[in-house]
Amino acid sequence: MSDLYQAVLLDELRHPQHKQSLPDPDSVARAVNVSCGDDLTVYLKFSSDQTILDIGWQGNGCAIAQVTMSLLSAHIQGKRVKDVMALTQSDLESLIGIKQISLGRVKCLMLGLEAVQRAIQKTKK
Amino acid sequence: MFNPEELKQDFPILSRQINGQSLVYLDNAATSQKPQVVIDAISHYYQTSNANVHRGVHALSDESTKLWETSRATIATFFGANPGELILTRNTTEAINGVAYGWADHHLSASDVILTTPMEHHSDLVVWQQVCQRTGAELRFLEVDETGRLKIEQLEEIFAHSDIKLISLGLVSNTLGTRNPVEKIVKIARKLRPEVKILLDGAQAAPHLPLDFHELDCDFFAFSGHKMLGPMGIGGLLVKQDLLESKAFQPWLFGGGMIATVEREKTEFAEDLADRFTAGTPDVASTVGLAAACRYLQQLGMKEVAQHDQELVQYALEKLTQISEVTLIGPVYALPAQPLDRVGSVAFIYQGVHAHDVAQILDSQGVAVRSGHHCTMPLHTQFNWQATVRASFQVYNSQADIDKLVAALAKVKAVFGI
Ligand SMILES: Cc1ncc(COP(=O)(O)O)c(C=O)c1O
């Protein structure tokens, strides 16, 4: 549990990466966690070779939601869309350095990825 | 007066260690813990008396039926109701749905108004939204002010402009802790429109306050056993006897047990009130368990239980107002010449830290609280709260538990470096 709030994660919370909207994004998607009011919006730009050219995000939520969103943003920039679609809960757990998130926080952990994957899916339609 | 630290010994779960710390359980508004006598009553029933009720002539069936009937009587009496007025349900939610199907659907139509409040638990809101969709009735709200109290002075005005047929509101709010002035509301309603029906959601009142169904003078009263030291899966709806006898209130579940005679095309329902509203095999073990919980509370004395709760609420408010990062929600001060109208819980926002993070750090200190919207999303939206942290009390909580909560909150400050 204590590792959930270790200094490095809290530092990430105070200095989040990519926390801004992108001008002229290729896709925008929002994910909301109704149980706690977490609310994230993700902006994506793609390159022609099916990779993530740039990502931005905005919103608010608990530390888990925000820190994961921040680290995820840095992680997926330049990655292939296909690989981003394949990311799972355990990928996010290792990204933030937690062995197993408690059941009650899974939604918080997954919220950012949900928004990202939703944004990708939107462009496919 | 009982000693909460001694009562802790009656609740086996409270001796658990959580994250290496002694459990401080402050999530009682979600569900309370169960004393050994309740656990024993349930297992004893299965070990010695289990059989279906009303269905056999054999000794066990007789015994089970008797246990069920005496347990029902104990529960009804606990609330000052006649046993015939008690319809057993799974919980408050099912009880409120019962009023929707058993009364509202039969009596409401377009241009009728259901009056409720923005502080209702979703259980007492979503049900009425659905009734309005089915019947064409309209939902209106008696508003709540910034201190978390109902704007009761607007009630007469609302009555003047709407054809109110049903008022449904919580006696105690599970989010704000507000003890609503239901006596005043009932009195005004009865004076202005004698035929109006009143439902009180007693989920958060039943665990803490001495209540008398007839004195409250409401038509329907809903409660959950699991919040008042009883088992999960059992609760009840109290319905005024005359509404049952006149058949204005009708059964909403049909099948075995609730019938007098059944023919191929039609059925006469049972005249006995308990039977008429008991379709199918009842949860006898949980009924027996809830009766044991009622007896446990009665032995403590509900007046004492209420006084204990008031002491804890006052103490928690005092301590929490000293923490500069904490913003309390709901009534914090007493109204002029009236006692503080808050029961059972204190909820707050911790400046700069999300409620979930607060709750998680408290958990790491062994302190269990609720975080989120507590099933009152419209209220959170109205006041622009993302999520709140709620500490809620029971007979086994002591001031020492609140001290531990306060100490654990210091940890939040330390971790987040505020
Ligand atoms: C005021 C209020 N009403 C209704 C309910 C619903 O109770 P149950 O989930 O037992 O049906 C609750 C439970 O939290 C409550 O606090």
Q: Does pLDDT of B82 surpass 60?
A: yes
pLDDT tens track for B240-287: 999 999 999 999 999 999 999 999 999 999 999 999 999 999 999 999
- Closest Cα in chain A, distance from residue B367 (Å): 14
A35 and B357 within 8 Å at the Cβ level: the answer is no
Q: Does pLDDT of A125 surpass 70?
A: no
Q: What CATH number is given to the structural domain containing A11? A: 3.90.1010.10
Q: Are B158 and B188 in contact, with CB atoms under 8 Å apart?
A: no
Residue to mutate among B350, B356, B358, with most A CBs inside 10 A, is B356
Tell me the CA end-to-end span of chain B in Å, nearest whole number.
41
Q: Which residues of A67-92 are buried (b: 16+ CB within 10 A; e: fewer)?
A: bbbbbbbebbeeeebeebeebeeeeb
Q: Are A107 and A12 in contact, with CB atoms under 8 Å apart?
A: no
Domain with CATH 3.90.1150.10 in chain B: 4-33+301-413
Alpha-carbon distance B120 to B89, whole Å? 20
Would you list which residues of chain A are within 8 Å, Cβ to Cβ, of chain B?
Answer: 1-2, 4-5, 10, 34-38, 60-64, 102, 105, 108
Residue nearest to ligand 1 atom 16, measured at CA: B174
Domain with CATH 3.40.640.10 in chain B: 40-297
Active site residue B375: yes
Cβ of residue B382 closer than 8 Å to a chain A Cβ: no
Cβ of residue B122 closer than 8 Å to a chain A Cβ: no
Q: Are A93 and A62 in contact, with CB atoms under 8 Å apart?
A: no
Alpha-carbon distance B290 to B346, whole Å? 26
Domain of residue A13 covers: 3-124
Q: Which CATH architecture has domain B40-297?
A: 3-Layer(aba) Sandwich (3.40)
CATH superfamily of the domain spanning B4-33+301-413? Aspartate Aminotransferase, domain 1 (3.90.1150.10)
pLDDT tens track for B17-61: 998 999 999 999 999 999 999 999 999 999 999 999 987 789 999
pLDDT tens track for B172-222: 999 999 999 999 999 999 999 999 999 999 999 999 999 999 999 999 999
Q: β-strands B86-89, A38-46: how paired?
A: unpaired
Summary mean pLDDT of chain A? 91
User: What's the rounded mean pLDDT across residues A61-70?
Assistant: 94
pLDDT at residue number A1: 46
Summary mean pLDDT of chain B? 96
Mapped onto helix, strand or coil, the DSSP state of residue A42 is strand
Of the given ranges (A5-9, B301-305, B380-384, B403-407), which has the lowest mean pLDDT?
Answer: A5-9
pTM of the model: 0.94
User: What's the rounded mean pLDDT across residues B94-106?
Assistant: 98
Number of domains in chain A: 1
